[in-house]
């Protein structure tokens, strides 16, 4: 797959584009720890239906790198969802995508929520996978969910951060092993995804993402206005489909119970049996069919 690049104020943002040249463009965004390869078994279904797909590498992943300087200063390795959202707007602007459907898994789902809160006029609809929207006022996770988030708490400690920096691929593999039923991936699947976890910006972005999420790192002042607006958002107006695996051991399926209360313009949840945290990899046929149905329902 050929990799393209656009320059944003902060990044050299890499992306892949494929499908019918005259098809309507969709944005599909991967999560952590993953890469654009997470969509490989979903894209053919979307292409067959006439859609053209744009699949970026999130900041810090693979060839997406921070620019050497920003007004004479090195940019922060920022992992906040509002930063990801701004990156997607910058990419869409560069490609002439005034409004678009958005599909995101894990960090990509968090990006979708930020986009809907901050740039609702740009979204036609969104599909979020494995992560629900929860307003900033939500309390700490339940004890079962907190236990599943062990890796996030570990990264908020200095020994944990050191362990992650020593071998980010092994750390990612530990999540793949824990989050879904045994045997769901091959060694080749992991190796291909892990090619995006070895760049010079990956570790800093990941650590900032989780540390800033739980108050153990300062949020980037560059995004202060967006962050304030996002934290004040209690409801989202974008028509949304949430796909969640019943055997997700990262974000427990029960965390999406009642999530429809936060959506004002249409919301649907699909729970997939025998699927863990990566439905688009584990059950691509069912995931692609659900995405396609949602797109067709919300296309003009």
> What is the tens place of the pLDDT at every residue in 22-56?
999 999 999 999 999 999 999 999 999 999 999 99
Q: What is the C-alpha R_g of the chain?
A: 18
Handedness of CA 235, 241, 246, 250 (dihedral sign): negative
* Among 261, 264, 265, 290, CA closest to 275: 290
pLDDT at 273 exceeding the cut of 80: yes
CA 66 to chain centre: 18
236 secondary structure, DSSP code: B
pLDDT score of 1: 80
Residue 26 CA: distances (Å) to CA of 47, 67, 248? 10, 26, 26
pLDDT at 157 exceeding the cut of 70: yes
Instruction: Give the orientation angle of helix 168-179 with respect to helix 158-166, to 10 degrees.
Output: 100
Residue 289: which CATH number?
3.40.50.1820
What pTM does this model have?
0.97
Domain count, the chain: 1
> What is the tens place of the pLDDT at every residue in 81-113?
999 999 999 999 999 999 999 999 999 999 999
53 secondary structure, DSSP code: E
End-to-end CA distance of the chain: 30
Question: Average per-residue pLDDT in the chain?
Answer: 96
pLDDT score of 140: 85
Domain enclosing residue 137, as ranges: 3-297
pLDDT at 70 exceeding the cut of 60: no
Average pLDDT over residues 158-172: 98
C-alpha 260/C-alpha 265 separation (Å) is 10
């Amino acid at each position: 797959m050929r990799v393209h690049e656009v320059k944003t104020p902060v990044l050299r943002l890499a992306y892949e584009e494929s499908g019918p040249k005259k098809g309507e463009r969709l944005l599909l965004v991967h999560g952590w720890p993953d890469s654009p390869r997470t969509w490989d078994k979903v894209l053919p279904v979307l292409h067959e239906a006439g859609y053209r797909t744009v699949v970026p590498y999130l900041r810090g992943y693979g060839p997406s790198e921070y620019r050497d300087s920003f007004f004479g200063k090195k940019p922060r390795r920022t992992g906040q969802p509002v930063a990801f959202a701004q990156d997607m707007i910058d990419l869409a602007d560069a490609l002439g995508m005034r409004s678009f459907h958005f599909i995101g898994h894990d960090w990509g789902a968090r990006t979708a929520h930020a986009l809907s809160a901050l740039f609702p006029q740009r979204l036609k609809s969104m599909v979020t996978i494995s992560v629900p929207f929860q307003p900033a006022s939500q309390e700490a996770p339940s004890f079962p969910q907190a236990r599943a988030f062990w890796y996030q708490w570990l990264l908020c400690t200095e020994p944990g951060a050191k362990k992650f920096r020593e071998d980010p691929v092994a750390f990612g593999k530990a999540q793949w092993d824990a989050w879904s039923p045994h045997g769901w991936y091959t060694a080749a699947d992991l190796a291909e995804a892990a090619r995006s976890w070895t760049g010079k910006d990956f570790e800093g972005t990941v650590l900032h993402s989780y540390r800033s999420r739980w108050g153990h790192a300062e949020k980037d002042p560059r995004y202060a206005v967006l962050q304030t607006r996002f934290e004040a958002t209690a409801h989202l107006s974008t028509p949304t489909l949430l796909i969640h695996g019943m055997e997700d051991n990262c974000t427990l399926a029960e965390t999406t119970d009642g999530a429809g209360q936060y959506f004002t313009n249409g919301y649907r949840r699909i729970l997939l049996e025998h699927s863990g945290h990566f439905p688009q990899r584990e059950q691509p046929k069912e995931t692609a069919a659900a995405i396609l149905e949602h797109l067709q329902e919300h296309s003009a």
